[in-house]
C-alpha cells in the first residue's frame, strides 16, 4: 500500500506540472484541455492503481506460496529428523541389545555351562575319593562348593578363567578338628591353625562294633600306630598342614584320573601348587579349562571356613589357615540373583553402588558386610561371634593416616 500511494502522488505531480505549462501558453486552450486532462488523469490513476493492486496481490500470493513451501519443507525436515532420531534410537537399542547378547548374555551362558562341567568333574573325583578312603583315617572329603568370580557369574578376564572350588574337610572317625586363632584381634584378616585330636569313642563303640576307642584300647597297638602314621602324613606336630594336605590330594587326583578319563574327554595336567590343587583340562579342540581346588575346615555349622588359600603376607606358614568368607559370599550372590529379573543388567544399580562407595571413601568408612550386620539374609549362616560383633570399618587405615586419601 505504501508503494501505491507513492506512485499515485508521483503521477499527480507530473500531470499538475503539465497542466500549469498548458495554462501559461493560452487561456482558451488551457480551459479546453483542463477538462480533458481531468478525465485522462482519472483513468490513468485508476489504471495505475489497478496494476499496483494486481502486483501487490501477486506478491502476497507468492509470499504465501513461499511460506507454505517453507512450512512444508520445515515439516518434512522435522519428519525426517524425527525419523532419523527414531532410527538412531532403534540403532542404539539394537546396538545395546547386540552388545548385551555378545558381551554379557553369551559369555554368561558359556560361563554357567563351564561351571557345571567343572563342578561335575570335581564331584566325580570326590565320589571316587570317598569310596577309596572309606574306613580310613584320612579327612572325609565333602562335595565341592563353587566360589569366586566364575561361579558368581562374572570374570575379570575373558580368557584363562580360573574356576575355583572349595572342598570342605571333615575329621575322620575318632578324630576332631579344633580351630585355634593364631592372630587375635586382627579382623578381618584372621588366621587359624587346625589342631587334630584323637577323641574317645567308647560310647560309639557299643553301636559300631567294628570300631574301637583309640584312647582306651591299648591292645589295638597296630591300628593306633596306623593312626599316628596318618597324623604324621597330614600334620606338622598336632596341626593340619596345608602343604601336606595339598600334596596328598594331588596324588589322589592323579590316581583317580584313570577312572574318569573315559567319561570326560579331556587331557589333564596337575599344575604346581603348594597350597591348593591346580588342574589344566584340555579337550580335543584345544579348549582349556583352568581349575583351582582349595581346602577348607568349617567353623561350626556356619558358612565361614578357614581355607588353604595364601594370606597377603610374604610368607604363610604351612599350618596357617586364613579365614574365608567365600562360601557366604557365593550364597549371598545367589540370593541376590534370585531377587532380580532374568537377563537384565542394572546400570542404575551400578551407578548407585559407585556413588555409595564414593561417599564411603569421602567419609572414610566402609563396614564389613558380615560383621555386626543385621541385614544379612537368613539363609547365610554366620557364627554367633560375627552376629554380636561391632561393625568393622574396612577404611580404618584411612582414618589413622589421613594423608593416604
Q: Is 83 exposed, middle or buried (0-12, 13-18, 19+ CB in 10 A)?
A: exposed
For CA atoms 334, 339, 341, 345, the dihedral sign is negative
Per-residue pLDDT of the chain (405 residues; tens, 9 = 90+): 454 455 455 445 544 554 455 445 444 444 444 454 445 554 555 565 566 666 666 666 666 555 555 555 555 555 566 556 555 555 554 555 555 545 555 456 788 899 999 999 999 999 999 999 888 889 999 999 999 989 988 777 767 899 999 999 999 888 899 999 987 656 667 899 999 998 877 765 555 555 556 666 544 544 544 555 567 789 999 999 999 999 999 999 999 998 898 888 899 999 999 999 999 999 988 889 999 999 999 999 999 999 999 877 778 899 999 999 999 999 998 898 888 776 666 667 778 889 999 999 989 999 998 988 888 999 999 998 888 888 888 888 888 887 776
Q: What torsion do the CA atoms of 35, 39, 44, 49 make, to the nearest 10 degrees?
A: 130
pTM greater than 0.85 (yes/no): no
Angle between helices 242-260 and 221-234 in degrees, nearest 10: 100
CATH of domain 120-339: 3.30.460.90
**DSSP-H helix ranges across 133-220:** 149-152, 202-207
Would you call 106 helix, strand, or coil by DSSP? Answer: helix
Whole-number Å distance between alpha carbons of 19 and 29: 11
Written as nine digits, the cell of 102 is 555378545
Amino acid at each position: 500500500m505504501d508503494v501505491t500511494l507513492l506512485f499515485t502522488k508521483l503521477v499527480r505531480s507530473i500531470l499538475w506540472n503539465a497542466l500549469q505549462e498548458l495554462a501559461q501558453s493560452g487561456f482558451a486552450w488551457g480551459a479546453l484541455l483542463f477538462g480533458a486532462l481531468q478525465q485522462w488523469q482519472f483513468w490513468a490513476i485508476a489504471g495505475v492503481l489497478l496494476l499496483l493492486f494486481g502486483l501487490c496481490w501477486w506478491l502476497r500470493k507468492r509470499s504465501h506460496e513461499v511460506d507454505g513451501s517453507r512450512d512444508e519443507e520445515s515439516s518434512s525436515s522435522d519428519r525426517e529428523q524425527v525419523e532419523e532420531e527414531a532410527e538412531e534410537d532403534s540403532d542404539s537399542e539394537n546396538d545395546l541389545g547386540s552388545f548385551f547378547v555378545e558381551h554379557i548374555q553369551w559369555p554368561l551362558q558359556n560361563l554357567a555351562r563351564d561351571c557345571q562341567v567343572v563342578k561335575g568333574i570335581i564331584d566325580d573325583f570326590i565320589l571316587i575319593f570317598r569310596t577309596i578312603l572309606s574306613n580310613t583315617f584320612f579327612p572325609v572329603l565333602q562335595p565341592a562348593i563353587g566360589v569366586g568370580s566364575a561361579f558368581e557369574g562374572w570374570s575379570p578376564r575373558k580368557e584363562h578363567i580360573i574356576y575355583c572350588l572349595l572342598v570342605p574337610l571333615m575329621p575322620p572317625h575318632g578324630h576332631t578338628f579344633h580351630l585355634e586363632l593364631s592372630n587375635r584381634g586382627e579382623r578381618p584378616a584372621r588366621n587359624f591353625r587346625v589342631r587334630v585330636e584323637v577323641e574317645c569313642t567308647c560310647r560309639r563303640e557299643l553301636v559300631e562294633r567294628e570300631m574301637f576307642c583309640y584312647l582306651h584300647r591299648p591292645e589295638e597297638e597296630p591300628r593306633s600306630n596306623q593312626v599316628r602314621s596318618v597324623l604324621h602324613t597330614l600334620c606338622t606336630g598336632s596341626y593340619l598342614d596345608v602343604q601336606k594336605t595339598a600334596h596328598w590330594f594331588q596324588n589322589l587326583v592323579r590316581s583317580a584320573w584313570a577312572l574318569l578319563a573315559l567319561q570326560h574327554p579331556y587331557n589333564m595336567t596337575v599344575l604346581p601348587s603348594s597350597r591348593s590343587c591346580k588342574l589344566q583340562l584340555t579337550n580335543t579342540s584345544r579348549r582349556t579349562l583352568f581349575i583351582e581346588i582349595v581346602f577348607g575346615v568349617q567353623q561350626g555349622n556356619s558358612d565361614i571356613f578357614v581355607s588353604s588359600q595364601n594370606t597377603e603376607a610374604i610368607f604363610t606358614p604351612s599350618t596357617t589357615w586364613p579365614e574365608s568368607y567365600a562360601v557366604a559370599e557365593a550364597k549371598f550372590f545367589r540370593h541376590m540373583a534370585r531377587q532380580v529379573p532374568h537377563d537384565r543388567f542394572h546400570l542404575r544399580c551400578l551407578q548407585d553402588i559407585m556413588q555409595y562407595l564414593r561417599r564411603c571413601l569421602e567419609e572414610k568408612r566402609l563396614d564389613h558386610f558380615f560383621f555386626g550386620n543385621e541385614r544379612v539374609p537368613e539363609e547365610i549362616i554366620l557364627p554367633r561371634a560375627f552376629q554380636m560383633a561391632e561393625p568393622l570399618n574396612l577404611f580404618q587405615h584411612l582414618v589413622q593416616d589421613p594423608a593416604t586419601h
